[in-house]
Copies of this chain bind each other. A is one copy, B any other.
Amino acid sequence: MIPDTRPSAEPLSKQRLRLWLRFLKAQSSIEAEIRRRLRDQYGSTLPRFDVMSALARFPDGLKMSEISGLLKVSNGNVTGIVDRLTQDGLALRVAVPGDRRAQLVRLTPAGQTAFAELAQAHEAWLDEMLGGLGPNELEALGALLDGVFDHLGEGGN
């Protein structure tokens, strides 16, 4: 097929803007549905899930600043979320031997159980909501996202 190289009536910047708006709409409608289900079915939230997810990947515990670094959110933000997880008995803070400033946060056994259940539901929800994407579409979308990242200069992390 011969690519259409005619200058479009609409400038490229407008096309990029419109694509961004569609991108945002897809993202936020999916995310809103996930938040709703976390709330209604599990009495939880996406920020809590994100923190638990990080903690689940590091059974030896994470320092507060490591959590905020992984999730790319502020320190003060993590303080509040971990406070609430701790109140609910899902996480706990343990002292770091050599450093009285820092603490390691870990999932409690109850937290591990709760997270396993949430993670399974989360994966199933996404599988359902992204069901329109088969293997080829997934690969194509992944490649396009790589293009975005390359240009943003954020390949790593």
CB pair B138 A16 closer than 8 Å = yes
Chain B residues closer than 8 Å to A23, beta-carbon distance: 27, 141, 145
CB under 8 Å from chain B, chain A span 1-47? 3-4, 8, 12-17, 19-20, 22-24, 26-32
**Chain A interface mostly:** helix
The stretch of A79-87, A89-97, A110-118, A126-134 in contact with B is A126-134
CB pair B142 A130 closer than 8 Å = no
Contact A148:B132 (CB < 8 A) given known A27-B23, A138-B16, A141-B19: yes
The stretch of A62-70, A98-106, A149-157 in contact with B is A149-157
CB pair B144 A137 closer than 8 Å = yes
